[in-house]
Amino acid sequence: MSQSGQRIGMLGGTFDPVHLGHLRSALEVHEALSLDRLHMIPAQQPPLRSQPQVSAQQRLALLKAGIGDTPGLVADDRELRRDGPSYSADTLAELRAEYGYQSRLVMVIGFDAFLRLTQWHQPERLFELAHLVVIARPGYNDPLPESLMELVEHRRVDSVETLMQRPCGGYLPLQLPSLMTISATYIRQCLVEKKSVRYLVPAPVEEAIEQGRLYQQRD
């Protein structure tokens, strides 16, 4: 496929640490949207968290270990190379410049993150750059606040096919086959309490956490 016609996804997150909820969702969204590539992009450390125990570079290393050789998924460190706050709109603008104006660019977020979308920097601009695909997360069924409805409802489409007819601007809620309740918060809690995280994270991530003695203290 030509450079201009590619289907590219972006899944941002703290990935603190990456877990099978992220990775299985990434793989399933890659398949559901027939993406050529899904960029998984760790964010800078949130400014309000005190004394991070695990650096952004360590989170990136865990993400790389988790992805391994999975076709189509890439650990992308671009937000860690930028100074200042990392806005998703700026990240999408970079991807748009790289892949060209005809490529189908999709920002993928979980429903919990979606509920806060109107508080993001320049939410309207996100749709000038990309489509938004919202994946269901178990336990999050709240109705959309009115301001969020206003932002997304007129952009809603009902199928991947319709979404991919244009390069950007659409909104598609998507229920992936494997709903997982796993969260990074739960994994950090297990590690503090010296409980096993086996089968919650990929084996190489579990190994790297053990070797680096990461997440042993409460945040």
Positions that interact with ligand ATP (CB under 6 A): 13-16, 21-22, 25, 109-110, 112-113, 135, 137, 180, 182-185
Closest alpha carbon to 135 in 45, 13, 6: 13
Residue placing its CB nearer to ligand ATP in the complex, 129 or 134: 134
Of 139 and 212, nearer to ligand ATP (C-beta) is 139
- Listing from the earlier edge strand, what are the strands of the sheet with 131-135? 73-75, 37-42, 7-13, 104-110, 131-135, 171-174
Nearest residue (CB) to ligand ATP, 5 versus 138: 138
Smallest distance, ligand ATP to C-beta of residue 138, A: 8
Q: Which is nearer to ligand ATP, 62 or 109 (CB)?
A: 109
Least spacing, CB of residue 137 vs ligand ATP, in Å: 5
Comparing CB distances to ligand ATP, the nearer of 25 and 103 is 25
CA distances from 67 to 60, 167, 168 (A): 11, 27, 27
Residue at shortest CB range from ligand ATP:
110
> Cβ of residue 1: shortest distance to ligand ATP, in angstroms?
27
Q: Which of 30/137 has CB closer to ligand ATP? A: 137
Question: Least distance in Å: CB of 3 to ligand ATP?
Answer: 27
Q: For residue 17, give Cα distances in angstroms to 76, 144, 156, 213.
A: 15, 28, 32, 13
Shortest Cβ distance from residue 10 to ligand ATP (Å)?
11
Q: CB of residue 198 vs ligand ATP: minimum separation in angstroms?
A: 17
